[in-house]
Amino acid sequence: MKVFHTISEIREFVRAAKGRGESIGLVPTMGYLHDGHLSLVRRAREENDRVVVSVFVNPLQFGPGEDFERYPRDLGRDSALAAGAGADAVFAPEVAEMYPEPTLTHVTVDGLSEGLCGASRPGHFRGVATVVMKLLNIVSPNRAYFGQKDAQQATVIRRMAADLNLDTSIVILPIVRESDGLAMSSRNVYLTPEGRRAALVLSSSLRLASEIVDGGERDAASVRRAIVAGISAEPMARVDYVAIVHADNLKPLDRLAGRVLIALAVFIDKVRLIDNVVLDLDESAADGAR
Ligand code: PAF
């Protein structure tokens, strides 16, 4: 497996592959790969002739005071894991390669970027959409793979690809969880042992919500109250947001109907974790979005 650091090298790799009639799958990541990323790489391996994994901690999507500097980085480990999962190439540019000048051009997906994580991380999805657009332009893959754990990111990227007629299929794959339910995340390494135990409150409160909905509850405020109560029972946890929205347009719902996304962000000490579940419910209870 090859590791490239420059745009011209990865472009040459892709040009040669496409010249042989091969298809390209891209798995964009910020590195510190875990099984969630590797599930994307394995799927890309099944569906494409060549698989490229990008490893780039994108400064544009971090706000002031966020963890850009201390975000975990280990390219040797990432390259070995990517190769083991079937990648043919890792594209790991430096910041100066991706942004030789401060970028004046941004991609903004209006209407999907401001709520949920966007409310507590202003500018985050503009940074994500911009770097993903750049990566798609650099690698020009047939397919690009993202995880459902970042549900809002997945919605933003899908919409960007549709609005801008990108010639890349956007593939979204399910959340991969630890055996006790914690959603896999590179940021889980920040957790202390007590924090790691407390972090189970994210998945357990989502499970509780699913059970309440299975039991027939359709009032979003009641479901939300139950989730917040569940999280608040954990002393180490502080709710950033709990949102109950339509999965496609991210508009808040009063009543649960259709494809419903229940998404949350919770601080465990200073570590901000996210998780979500999508419920496919009967449309008939719909009363429209607020
Ligand atoms: O999900 C991530 O790791 C990042 O947001 C992405 C899509 C690689 C863009 O930097």
* pLDDT one-digit tens code per residue, 231-286: 999 999 999 999 999 999 999 999 999 999 999 999 999 999 999 999 999 987 55
Catalytic residues: 37
| 105 domain-assigned | yes
131 Cβ below 6 A of ligand 1:
yes
| 203 domain-assigned | yes
30 Cβ below 6 A of ligand 1:
yes
Among protein residues, the one whose CA lies closest to atom 2 of ligand 1: 29
Indicate the pTM of the whole model.
0.96
31: alpha, beta or left? (left if phi > 0; alpha if psi -120 to 50): left
Q: Which atom of ligand 1 is nearest to the CA of 54?
A: 8
Cα–ligand 1 centroid distance for 129 (angstroms): 9
58 Cβ below 6 A of ligand 1:
yes
Q: Where in the sequence is the domain holding 245, given as residue range(s)?
A: 186-278
**105: confidence class by pLDDT, cuts 50, 70, 90:** very high
Residue 250 CB: number of other CB atoms within 10 A? 23
Q: What is the pLDDT of residue 290?
A: 42
Among protein residues, the one whose CA lies closest to atom 8 of ligand 1: 29
Q: What is the pLDDT of residue 288?
A: 44
On whether both 168 and 211 belong to a single domain, the answer is no
* Residues in CB range of 178: below 8 A, 6 or more apart: 184
| 251 domain-assigned | yes
Q: What is the total count of domains within the chain?
A: 2
On whether both 190 and 82 belong to a single domain, the answer is no
What is the mean pLDDT of the segment spanning 156-165?
A: 98
Q: What is the pLDDT of residue 283?
A: 87
Q: What distance in Å separates the CA atoms of residue 184 and residue 196, rounded to the nearest whole number? A: 12
Q: What does the mean pLDDT of the chain come to? A: 97
* Res 289 pLDDT > 60: no
Q: Which of 173, 201, 222 is the last residue of a domain?
A: 173
Q: What is the pLDDT of residue 249?
A: 97
Q: What is the pLDDT of residue 284?
A: 72
In percent, how much of the chain has pLDDT > 90?
97
Q: Which atom of ligand 1 is nearest to the CA of 186?
A: 3
What is the mean pLDDT of the segment spanning 189-210?
A: 98
